[in-house]
Amino acid sequence: MAALDTQLREALRRIERLERIAAENGLEAPYSPGEKRGRGRPSGVPPEQLEVRTESLVFWLEDNWPEISRGLNVAQNEQQVAEVLKSGRQNSHTFYPPFVKAPERFASECWKFIHSKRYHQNPRNLAAAMAGLPEISVRTSFNRCHKYAANCHPVGYRAYREHLRRKFHDRFRKLTAAASTEEVVTILRGSKSKDAVLRHLSENPDKVLRWLECGIPGNTRLYDEPNL
């Protein structure tokens, strides 16, 4: 419970920081008509704004990742990509970048990126690529924001399942087949990985099966429980 409380406090602290920096930097303000533009886009986005956008986008994507990742995997065109993104849950009190507020504007860029070699079905890669839109290109956004996405707040619970599948496939297969905390302890015992998610699971084996349930598409009930 102490580890969970710490993570929740950290998440709330980061949300407050995002909202404060967004307000201080006027992220909602349009670009002045007098600003210099190149290649049809505004000249750029300050680093502090990109960091805020990236962190907010990571938070939103991981909170919705079971549904969004499944939807993107089966989408057949840009229109379906837009519908998948528009279905994501939003908190009315949280700042969101343009990609979240009007995903239909960026469906083409998203479609191209999820079929690129940089996606890897990783929500943080997608966040890095989309955070700078529309002011900068997907390539520039990814290159500038990747470090922000990799180093921001801890991975969200609803993204644990996909994180394990992507990075620790053998352990993921065994954990999803486990039926008790004792089995979970045995599977995770002796891990020398420095991966933050794997360490968190090892420290909280009694919660692992419930956390993995949260990663099943459509299963938000457990995630919403206060003592998860």
Confidence (pLDDT) at 63: 94
What is the pLDDT, as a whole number, of residue 3?
Answer: 53
What's the pLDDT score for residue 227?
58
42: helix, coil or strand? Answer: strand
Interval 186-205: pLDDT, tens:
999 988 899 999 999 999 99
pLDDT band at 92 (very low <50, low <70, confident <90, very high): confident
pTM for this one?
A: 0.79
Token digits of residue 114: 């999820």
Residue 6 has pLDDT above 60, yes or no: no
134 prior amide bond cis, ω within 30: yes
